[in-house]
Amino acid sequence: MPEVEFVVQDRCVLGECPNWDAENNRLLWADILGQKIHALSLDTGARESWSFESEVGCFGLTDQGRWVIALKSDVILFNPATGVREKIAEVDGGNAMSRTNDGKIGPDGAFWVGTMDQNAEKQPVAGLFRVTGEGAVEHKVGGVKISNGLAWSPDGRFMYHSDSRGPWVNRWSFDAQSGEISKCARFLDLDDTLGRPDGAATDVEGCYWSAGVSAGNLNRFAPDGTLLMSIPLPVLNPTMPCFGGPDMKTIFVTSHSENYDAQKLKDHPDAGRVMALRVDVAGVPVTRFREA
C-alpha cells in the first residue's frame, strides 16, 4: 500500500476541493465551513489563506489566472493577487435548504457545481448545475441529497457524479463541446463499510478514485466498476482526492473534523488535515474555467 503523509498540520473543519495549481507548483484547498481557501507551495512550504463571507462549497482555476468560486449560492471570479471579486451567477439561491457543495471544471470549460441539503435529515432537494463564463446557469440533475463525486474520463466522453447519501455513483455520456449529458447509468452502489462516495478524481487509465468518507478509505475503481484497491487512510473522514505534482502521480486528500467533540479530536488528532500519497499512475489534469 502507498505510504500516506500529512502535508500540513493545520486542521480544517470541513476540508474539501483540493486543486492542483501546476503553474505555481502549489496545492489549493477549501475549508467549506471555515470559509477559507488555503494554499501550500511545494517549493518553499509557504502558506497563504483567503477568507470569504460565506461557505466555500467548491472552486477551480480559470484560463485568465483567476479562480471561480461557488460560495453558499453566489458564483464569483476571484483574483487571489488583488482580492478583487466579481459575481457572475447564482446557483439555487432560492432554495433555503441547500448550499453549494462539490464542484469541478468540466472538459467543456464550464463550472459544474453541486448542492446539498444542509439539514441533518437529508432530503432529495439538491442538484447539479452548469455555470458558463457568461454566467449562464443550467440545472442538469435533480433529486439528490448531497451532490458529490464529479470527475471525467480521460477522453472527456463520460462524467461521473455521486450522491453521498444515495449512496451511489452514476456515469453519464458527456459532450465536451456542448456540455450536454445523456444516457445516465448506475456505475456503483456503495455502503458505509467500503465508504460512502465523497469527492473523486480520475487517472489516465480511466479509473475512478473515490474518497470513502464514512470508512476512512480511498477507493480505486476500474472503468467497469470493479474495485481495484482500497487504501486505508489515517483519518476517519477523507473528503476528496486530487492528483498533482510535476508528474501528476501524487494524490492529495482532504478530510474533515466536522461535529467532532473534544474527546473525538483527542482520539483522532489528524482529522481535518491534508494528506498526500504517491501512486504508480498519473491523474487526469482538471480543465480550467473558460472566462467570457
Q: Is 198 a catalytic residue?
A: yes
Pair 244, 252: CB distance under 8 Å: yes
Q: Which of 31, 198, 203, 270 is catalytic?
A: 198
Q: Residue 197's beta-bridge partner residues?
A: 212
Q: Please enumerate in sequence order all residues whose Cβ is within 8 A of that of 250, keeping only pairs 6 or more positions apart, or say none.
A: 243, 244, 276, 277, 278, 279
- Joined together, the cell numbers standing for residue 88 give 457572475
Task: Give the DSSP letter of residue 286.
Answer: P
- CA dist., res. 267 & res. 150, Å (int): 31
- CA dist., res. 47 & res. 41, Å (int): 7
- Joined together, the cell numbers standing for residue 247 give 508528474
Pair 166, 150: CB distance under 8 Å: no
Task: Give the DSSP letter of residue 146.
Answer: B
Q: Residue 111's beta-bridge partner residues?
A: 105, 131
Nearest to 13 by CA among 265, 224, 290: 265
Q: Which residues are catalytic?
A: 198
